[in-house]
Amino acid sequence: MSGVFVTGPTGTVGSAVVAELLERGERVLAGVRDPAGAPDLPPAAERRAFRFGDPPERLAQALAGSDRLFLMRPPAIADVRTFLFPVIEVAASQGIRQVVFLSLQGVQANRATPHHAVEARLRERDAPYTFLRPNFFMQNLSGPPAGPIRERDEIVVPAGRARTAFIDARDIGRVAAAVLTEPGHLRRAYTLSGEESLGYEAVARTMTAELGRRITYTRPSEREYLDLLAREGWPQDYLDVQRMIYRVVRLNVSALPNHSVRRLTGHPATSLAQFVRDHSDVWT
């Protein structure tokens, strides 16, 4: 029996992938640490015991019965050779006919990222890959920045005057489900952006209109932002990630919109206004 094995099924993107695959009537095998837990998973998803770093025989047991794999790198894992490469090997040995890897926008020009190494390994193995390279998530506005927005009506991120073509993680889930269930996507790479290129002043105006109160963008320096996160108790590795993310944003690498979501799913990418409406409780 065929099915899609989904890594990270309870995360921001993975949960969207699970939901969209189930909507299409697909059998979903969800790789979780504790099959008896994961209360947020839909009941229709089959829970499988899975950890990156498991020995090959356990990985093989987890993937048994699947013919496709949605693979993503947990943020805490930098050593992909130790933790992700074995999953790729087991998938190959079991005849997995497609590996959809959640990569990173611009990864082809950034050899230092773990995502670049995973893409390279899949190519070396001549795996039946599909690479999804998403832009900056809209959900980043509902993460750590949500507190200042909720408490002080301020967007506090060091993005300068840069613009970003934000993408909703739900759209990534729709794209993943499409490429996993429709033909023509093997050995292809898709950069996924929203259809709007917005500066953070425009983000503040959109949130003002949708939330019904004035939201402002404070445009802090990188140092001010990192100091704020440190005072809030975020660990150093998280601060390092945030430093990297917003340095990339300030280079306008994430500024270009496209119509990949529309082309691959038949529906336009979610607008920021719609995203704010759908998640207004986060900032209230």
User: DSSP strand E in the chain: where?
Assistant: 4-7, 28-32, 46-49, 68-72, 98-102, 129-134, 154-155, 163-164, 188-192, 198-199, 216-217
**What's the confidence (pLDDT) of residue 15?**
97
pTM confidence score: 0.95
Q: Classify each residue of 58-84 as buried b or exposed e, where b means 16 or more C-beta atoms within 10 Å of its C-beta.
A: ebeebbeebbbbbbbbeeeeeebeebb
Q: How far is CA 95 from CA 2, 29, 31, 186, in A?
A: 12, 16, 18, 15
3-state secondary structure of 261: helix
Q: Which CATH class is domain 141-164+196-253+270-278?
A: alpha beta
pLDDT grade, residue 1 (50/70/90)? Answer: low
What is the distance, to the nearest Å, from the Cα of residue 27 to the centroid of all Cα atoms in its chain? 21
Residue 10 confidence (pLDDT) above 90: yes
User: Tokens for 150?
Assistant: 């909720």
Q: Which CATH architecture has domain 4-134?
A: 3-Layer(aba) Sandwich (3.40)
What is the tens place of the pLDDT at every residue in 83-139? Answer: 999 999 999 999 999 999 999 998 888 888 899 999 999 999 999 999 999 999 999
Q: In the chain, pLDDT over 70 holds for what percent of residues?
A: 100
What is the tens place of the pLDDT at every residue in 179-236? Answer: 999 999 999 999 999 999 999 999 999 999 999 999 999 999 999 999 999 998 989 8
How far apart CA 72 and CA 117 sit, in angstroms, is 13
